[in-house]
Chain A
């Protein structure tokens, strides 16, 4: 997001890829931020020319974006975010063609809420969810459960995907799961060694990145805790990367919401699955396999 309150914010909905003529079908992505929305350019590039891809970038909703910089307390709810997305898509006339919903991570939750707001004739043919955890109690965490022992490995995946490179999560130190600076010092050393961060980056700088990452997680957890989803109105395909956020064979709670649920697997991790060539092709295949 452009750091200037005086200039107009970028639009909530952005088009990616070549829109040659009138598309025959659409792919509408709900993106929760953390990584740039531009990562979907890879998916747009492998779609056929008659498919147009648009991304709803939730970070363009100020109440949502700024919550990741203000301790994780958002002034909106999941249905309100979904309403903003639906209104923006409708205003652009993007429900005019058969379409597939794509939701990565928390974007899958807002996408699920979005389908609850649509008229029957506006519904997508299918929802393709990318390592998204369902908003159900079994998969909802309290704030105190979001500790360094859980988050540092995710943060390593995130930082490596965002900046390019590889980082290995450090072994928890003797100070215990509450220690943050110990593991982050190890992450900083690796990041500098592998060129993931610029030379001269210091621990206080990396700590700020980590704190914003944690606040983003807390924001999304709190939004999920206050959300009571209904059953899925469309078939759901859940794509799970080799290294997702959760190491469980269960379909991340979506079995509680979706009667028609398919689970498939892709290479990559929670973050790299948006750009890994094989994962992107798998996503495209599932998006196109919607009888659209």
Chain B
């Protein structure tokens, strides 16, 4: 995998890489092993309040290097769905 959790290379994103980043971040915030984070669970079912959801969103944008539409979590409410959406967005960006 050319992307890393701490810093992202310029290689094209894959849903698996975005998902891995999100799982790692959510696991860190919750203080649980990454294996305990279900990518198909709704964001609001994790023990994260709205402030932490915004923090996650800001850190994700910083890692991606582009802004997400702010309703992305609204329309793509799981880690798996959001990861796929982000890769589609990046492809549109690059096109």
Contacts and interface: CB of A to CB of B under 8 A. Distances in A.
A171 to B, nearest CB: 24
B43 A204 contact: no
Interface in A197-212: 197-198, 200-202, 204-209, 211-212
B10 interface: no
Contact of B52 (A70, A198, A202): A198
Interface string A69-96: 1100000000000000000000000000
A206 B44 contact: no
Contacts, number: 66
Nearest to B56: A205
A4 interface: yes
B58 A209 contact: yes
Contacts of A202: 55, 58-59, 62
Interface residues of B, number: 23
Contacts of B73: 3
Given A204-B62, A205-B59, A5 B74 contact: yes
Contacts of B43: 3
A4 B44 contact: yes
Interface residues of A, number: 24
A275 to B, nearest CB: 15
A5 B77 CA distance: 8
A69 to B, nearest CB: 4
A2 interface: yes
Contacts of A209: 51, 54-55, 58
Interface of B: 28-29, 42-44, 49, 51-59, 61-62, 70-71, 73-75, 77
Interface of A: 2-6, 66, 69-70, 159, 162-163, 197-198, 200-202, 204-209, 211-212
